[in-house]
Structure 1
Amino acid sequence: MKKIRTRYAPSPTGFMHIGNLRSAIFEYLIAKHDDGDFILRIEDTDQTRKVDGAVEFIYKTCELCGLKFDEGPNNPGLYGPYTQSERLDIYSKYAHELVEKGKAYYCFCSEERLQDLRHQAELEKRAFLYDGYCKNLTKEEIANKIKNGEKYVIRQKMPKEGISSYEDVVFGNISVENKILEDQILLKSDGFPTYNFANVVDDHLMAITHVARGNEYLMSTPKYNLLYDAFGWERPVYIHLPMVLGEDGQKLSKRNGDASFMDLYNDGYLPEGIVNYLALLGWSSSDNVEIFTLEELAKIFDPKRISKSPAIYDVKKLNWVNAHYIKKLPIEKLCEITIPHLKDAYNIEDKSTEWLNHLVKLYQKHISYGKEIVSLVSLFFNDDIVIEGEAKEFMESDASIETVLKVFEEEIKNIDNWNLDNITLAINNTKDKANVKGKLLYMPIRIKVSGQMHGPELPDTIYLLGKDVVLNRLQK
């Protein structure tokens, strides 16, 4: 059996969209399910979008996510170069080979002529297709034009009759009428290949067996296949992935403010949580289990279980998955992704390492990502708290509440050694002396000292607030 080889082929634009990372994860899982190779190829034929350092950024992102490349620009194997701008001679060779085979032709049409054709198509309310004007030029005419220095592109000669079909793992049989396939440009006048052409040449020469990509390429794949056929090459297995949409139903886009991987990472989401969640965007396991390590995913991943329907990027679901990993995180690691955010939001200069660690540990079960802790702990850093809404209504709901608070205040005053045991004892003494229990004991104390009806363990909250702050709030 031929070794499975997949590739992640991003443009070096400087960051990775959530949708791009999801594609990389699926490509990795397809390869590793069968102990195959996962390749990084940089598609930089559009030099205007290239960002310096982007390749290193892609390596860093994938490394954080556990997606190790078996080959790529920084760890080359037998199939390099792995950057398209370093392969221009290769594309030129194969484009001219197609011309010799009669499967492609030189096109000398000026931009003005092409604009006229586009304008005419608009007037006739039809899709623009190049009319094949240069397809029938004689060898002599072509030679003269090249000799005279006329710029040209190389176009693929498409069949104009019949139907082109192929099988996709996710979407099944896909058929397209050949008459709607344009004689696409393969090699541009500047010597750079088009995306479609470079993909086919690279995938073949790099022995890529499975091509996983967005389903926006579903109907253009026959163009790719006609190139494979023209060269006499074996077609790869196609796995077209459903689009990832935002909760508003629109395609995810950095321009629309949608988060990239690094945005999430910098907010204190864990790479393993992000990867786990993204693997569920358009795919599900046979037993509907949703929490997996990357290794577990690789073992069970079946591309036939990828959905045809668009996947919705649901932040609440992401938070639910990530919280699973947050709860298991060692306190040292949790502090690394929370304390920098606390430092940005509050003055923590007077807080000891022990105090900060205690605070973070206290909220471990209450946060789903690192930065979320900031909005939950303001009661420890703000001098004043406001009791309003439902909390205020509760405080006015029972005559015993005033007694509870007075008894508790006296118990707090009597504590000489400020620790959790003595605070717990003060609460229990209040229970006995005020003759209350449950909600009428704990909630008045919590609301009075924190301004909140619900929260983490009450003795720890009181301990971290400190005796002076607690007494001050009880006396107001």
Structure 2
Amino acid sequence: MVITRFAPSPTGNLNIGGVRAAIFAYLYARHKKGKFLLRIEDTDKERSKNEYEENIIESLAWLNVSYDSLFHQSEHLERHTSVLKKMIENNTAYVSKEIPTEPGGRTEVIRFKNPNRMVVFNDIVRGDISMDTSDLGDFVIAKSLEEPLFHLAVVVDDWDEGVTHVIRGEDHISNTPRQILLQEAIGAPTPIYAHLPLILGPDRSKLSKRKGAKSITEYRDMGYLPEAIFNYDAFLGWHPGGEEEVFNQTELIERFTLENVQKSGAIFDEVKLAWFNREHIARLSPEAFIEYAKQFLSTETLEALTNANLLEKLVPIMRERIQNFAELRELDTQGEFSYYTTRPSYETERLFWKTDTDPIKTSERLKKTQDILTSIPEDNWCETIVKETLWPYAEEAGRGAVLWPLRYSLSGRDKSPDPFVIASIIGKNETIQRISQAIKQLA
């Protein structure tokens, strides 16, 4: 059975780059009907924080990256110590006397007895990789029996947890020969390795927080969908082939293979991520869209739209105008939804179309518009019928001269959806009354 793992250190929030390894390991395990493990590597007591561990778990849950087992490396100290003791007994490790590099520094560490040989391993992504380990010397594997370091702890934990495939970033390639030597020394099997390409910023340097690597929870709070983040991250260094790019998690699991992972660096593109988010917003059902919208609309707006039974009617308009749900909050703050439930006030001069500032002509066109719209039966009132009925007059008298005063009459705003949309949402009676109000304003 395939068993993969994601092994983050809880020394910071999980970011868009860091979670890529989790997504690839998860996709591969699920594709192979195997298991995916989460191991919190929390042996760095000074830097490891509970809040960061909570952030990692919260972020994975939000992305729907489910793991089969959760381990904490710190809970395996007794096992690590036992392995260390056996290594010393077997003469594959030894206690080394050290000259302290600073006052009060360590005088002893535990070093691995390096056989100084060439290590060759096959990487699924990169093929055969070889490294002369004689350059490494007898590297330190523990500060003491109670303080094993990264390489030994990882090797022991992967062995004990049955990890068959180690999927991680290419910055770990240099660690692999050390870990293979340790595996051989303690009798552990060597897993299959797949080293993923680095994620690069727009300037092609390694992506970092300073270079735009926001945390997963930051993107969540910005109104990004978990499906979009998951989909985009899956494409950072992998592609299923073909032109299609927008997939849900099930579709990605079906298509994912490590053989299609690229070797060259993957460029993180915020614009492309926003595109993925917009595409996934377009796929949301009206009910799902509303559930997300509720998290970003003000209580007042939400209550007003709900009480007027307008929330579902506004979904197409909201969906069309945003790339993320935080933009919905901005539109709300700007009053973009208030005119659907509250009759607007007007600045008379804003009812005029460009240089046509004659209030009598503007009023006459509004009255003609009102008469035409009044002729539409209540049962037939919808965006399509409103447009089809009014359009011949708009073509005859001038689109701007007819439609601009109507738009402003209905919304009280320079920028808004077209008047046919607004009219269809607020209804025939309210549309007629707002036009009457604008005509009075011009008198």
Give the TM-score taking structure 2 as reference length. 0.81
Matched AA of 2:113: K
More displaced stretch, 266-275 vs 347-356: 347-356
Q: Which runs of 5+ in 1 are unaligned?
A: 73-81, 117-149, 387-393
1:191 is aligned to 2:180: no
Q: Deviations over 1:170-226 (max 9, x none)?
A: 122222232321432211137222112111111112111100111101123111111
Does the 8 Å CA contact 1:241/1:306 hold for their aligned counterparts? yes
Match of residue 62 from structure 1: 60
Matched AA of 1:329: L
CA distance in 2: counterparts of 1:215 and 1:42, whole angstroms: 20
1:367-378 superposed matches below 5 A: 367-376=322-331, 378=334
Does the 8 Å CA contact 1:39/1:69 hold for their aligned counterparts? yes
Does the 8 Å CA contact 1:431/1:437 hold for their aligned counterparts? no
- Secondary structure (helix, strand or coil) at the match of 1:249 reads coil
Structure 1 position 46, deviation (Å): 0.7
Does the 8 Å CA contact 1:404/1:444 hold for their aligned counterparts? no
Match of residue 36 from structure 2: 38
Structure 1 position 328, deviation (Å): 2.6
Q: Does the C-alpha gap of structure 1 residues 232 and 456 become closer, same or farther in structure 2, counting only changes over 3 Å?
A: same
Aligned partner of 2:156 among 189, 201, 222? 201
Aligned partner of 1:279 among 234, 254, 262? 234
Matched AA of 2:165: H
Matched AA of 1:461: I
Structure 1 position 352, deviation (Å): 3.9
Match of residue 12 from structure 1: 10
Does the 8 Å CA contact 1:431/1:441 hold for their aligned counterparts? no
Q: Deviations over 1:444-464 (max 9, x none)?
A: 458755423xx6554223466
Aligned partner of 1:451 among 394, 398, 414? 414
1:34-113 superposed matches below 5 A: 34-52=32-50, 54-72=52-70, 82-112=71-101
CA distance in 1: counterparts of 2:346 and 2:262, whole angstroms: 49
RMSD between superposed Cα atoms in Å: 3.9
Matched AA of 2:87: L
CA distance in 2: counterparts of 1:446 and 1:248, whole angstroms: 48
CA distance in 1: counterparts of 2:123 and 2:362, whole angstroms: 69
CA distance in 1: counterparts of 2:42 and 2:191, whole angstroms: 22
Q: Does the C-alpha gap of structure 1 residues 191 and 332 become closer, same or farther in structure 2, counting only changes over 3 Å?
A: same
Does the 8 Å CA contact 1:109/1:152 hold for their aligned counterparts? yes
1:411 is aligned to 2:366: no
Q: Deviations over 1:270-293 (max 9, x none)?
A: 222221111111100033431222
Q: Deviations over 1:312-370 (max 9, x none)?
A: 222222222222322232223212222332318x8666544423443334222332322
CA distance in 1: counterparts of 2:361 and 2:383, whole angstroms: 18
Structure 1 position 372, deviation (Å): 2.2
1:58-457 superposed matches below 5 A: 58-72=56-70, 82-112=71-101, 152-160=108-116, 162-189=117-144, 191-254=146-209, 258-343=213-298, 350-353=304-307, 354-376=309-331, 378=334, 379-381=336-338, 396=354, 407-408=365-366, 411-412=369-370, 421=381, 430-433=390-393, 435-436=395-396, 440=400, 444=404, 448=408, 450-452=413-415, 456=417
Does the 8 Å CA contact 1:285/1:301 hold for their aligned counterparts? yes
- Secondary structure (helix, strand or coil) at the match of 2:13 reads coil
Does the 8 Å CA contact 1:242/1:282 hold for their aligned counterparts? yes
Structure 1 position 398, deviation (Å): 9.3
Q: Does the C-alpha gap of structure 1 residues 70 and 351 become closer, same or farther in structure 2, counting only changes over 3 Å?
A: closer
- Secondary structure (helix, strand or coil) at the match of 1:47 reads coil
CA distance in 1: counterparts of 2:22 and 2:275, whole angstroms: 22
CA distance in 2: counterparts of 1:321 and 1:42, whole angstroms: 30
Does the 8 Å CA contact 1:7/1:38 hold for their aligned counterparts? yes
Matched AA of 1:204: W
CA distance in 1: counterparts of 2:291 and 2:206, whole angstroms: 33
Q: Which runs of 5+ in 2 are unaligned?
A: none
Matched AA of 1:33: H
- Secondary structure (helix, strand or coil) at the match of 1:107 reads strand
Structure 1 position 413, deviation (Å): 8.6
Matched AA of 1:223: R
CA distance in 1: counterparts of 2:75 and 2:318, whole angstroms: 51
Q: Does the C-alpha gap of structure 1 residues 316 and 185 become closer, same or farther in structure 2, counting only changes over 3 Å?
A: same
Match of residue 135 from structure 1: none
Q: Does the C-alpha gap of structure 1 residues 192 and 335 become closer, same or farther in structure 2, counting only changes over 3 Å?
A: same
- Secondary structure (helix, strand or coil) at the match of 1:317 reads helix
- Secondary structure (helix, strand or coil) at the match of 2:396 reads coil
Structure 1 position 4, deviation (Å): 0.7
- Secondary structure (helix, strand or coil) at the match of 1:220 reads helix
CA distance in 2: counterparts of 1:343 and 1:237, whole angstroms: 51
Structure 1 position 239, deviation (Å): 0.5
- Give the % identical residues: 31
Matched AA of 1:101: N
Q: Does the C-alpha gap of structure 1 residues 446 and 192 become closer, same or farther in structure 2, counting only changes over 3 Å?
A: farther
Does the 8 Å CA contact 1:341/1:370 hold for their aligned counterparts? yes
Matched AA of 2:111: R
CA distance in 2: counterparts of 1:424 and 1:329, whole angstroms: 24
Q: Deviations over 1:111-140 (max 9, x none)?
A: 327999xxxxxxxxxxxxxxxxxxxxxxxx
CA distance in 2: counterparts of 1:460 and 1:412, whole angstroms: 16
Match of residue 460 from structure 1: 421
Aligned length: 423
CA distance in 2: counterparts of 1:422 and 1:307, whole angstroms: 51
CA distance in 2: counterparts of 1:446 and 1:283, whole angstroms: 51
Q: Does the C-alpha gap of structure 1 residues 196 and 422 become closer, same or farther in structure 2, counting only changes over 3 Å?
A: closer
More displaced stretch, 60-69 vs 211-220: 60-69
Does the 8 Å CA contact 2:353/2:400 hold for their aligned counterparts? no
Structure 1 position 100, deviation (Å): 2.4
